[in-house]
Structure 1
């Protein structure tokens, strides 16, 4: 197989990124995150088993396309930020951004996986709308179940990415405790 079509490293990076990143010396699997990836399988099975339909597949296709574009755009910004960290730490020695670097690396794999799943989701929706739609334009059967499962996977990946991006932003930019959402102290009144 041509390496050009090999998406396994991206998927492997996505899976490896589902760890508890607080301990960079011995990362442990984040069981809850990994188990949450079973939710799209359950959505697929429920939709298929119960004869579920998607009433507005075109709207879902639009949303999937926007998510793919947004994730790819976020990846470009993320890789620029990662490059900046590498430049800041070019002096060698221990990095003060080691945890943040790991979060950015993990998030890059999640963003690319999300974009890839969006592409498969869009393909499933387009094919389904052409071979499995009712006269009323609803998507039904296997194609509706596949699109629902893939869309729920994209949603989960999106939810994974947001806290990681925010955490990296807060740490790298040294956001004050008054505006830092991770700081649980009460805001001081001025």
Structure 2
């Protein structure tokens, strides 16, 4: 297989990124990994219950926008990662080791989400040409596959948002008054 089409490193990075970073040794984040069963359940239910997608064209638009947004976030992320590398002094321990790990993990998640959006778009386009009812509803395998892929992308999106926010807060040293991770109440001025 040509390495040009090999997406396995991206998927492996996505899987490896589903770890619980609160421990010295890397441990699997069981809850995050189990949440990836949700798309399998959605796919199965759609097939079993003969589910239909009433507006596949709208879903295709949303998938395309999501792919673009994730790729855009990835480019911003890679720029931020480069800045961290520039800020660190050669030969010294990194001040941003945790943040660097979060950015590396998030990059794999964003690229996996973008890749799945592309697969979902292809599934929708093919399905809209071979698996549509007279009323324009997508049905059967194509509807189930699209619903499963869309669910997976949603789960990945939910993974990514807190990681991006956490990296932003830590790298930019956001004040405790505005830091959402700081549970203290904001001082109110009268």
Report the TM-score range of the alignment, normalised by the length of the smaller protein. Answer: over 0.9
1:105 counterpart residue number: 104
Q: How does 1:6-25 map to 2 (within 5 A)?
A: 6-23=6-23, 25=24
Identify unmatched segments of 5+ residues in structure 1.
none
Alpha-carbon shift at residue 22 of structure 1 (Å): 2.7
TM-score (norm 1): 0.98
1:130 counterpart residue number: 129
Q: What is the number of equivalent residue pairs in this alignment? A: 189
TM-score (norm 2): 0.98
Q: C-alpha root-mean-square deviation of aligned residues, in Å?
A: 0.7
2-side partners of 1:147 and 1:12: how far apart? Answer: 22
2-side partners of 1:4 and 1:20: how far apart? Answer: 31
Q: How does 1:21-40 map to 2 (within 5 A)?
A: 21-23=21-23, 25-40=24-39
Alpha-carbon shift at residue 53 of structure 1 (Å): 0.2
* Partner secondary structure for residue 147 of structure 1: helix
1-side partners of 2:166 and 2:177: how far apart? Answer: 15
Q: How does 1:87-166 map to 2 (within 5 A)?
A: 87-166=86-165
- Write out per-residue CA displacement over residues 99-149 of structure 1, whole angstroms, 9 at most, x where no aligned residue: 000000000000000000000000000000000001111000000000000
Alpha-carbon shift at residue 27 of structure 1 (Å): 1.2
Contact 1:22 1:99 in 2 (8 A): no
1:83 counterpart residue number: 82
Identify unmatched segments of 5+ residues in structure 2.
none
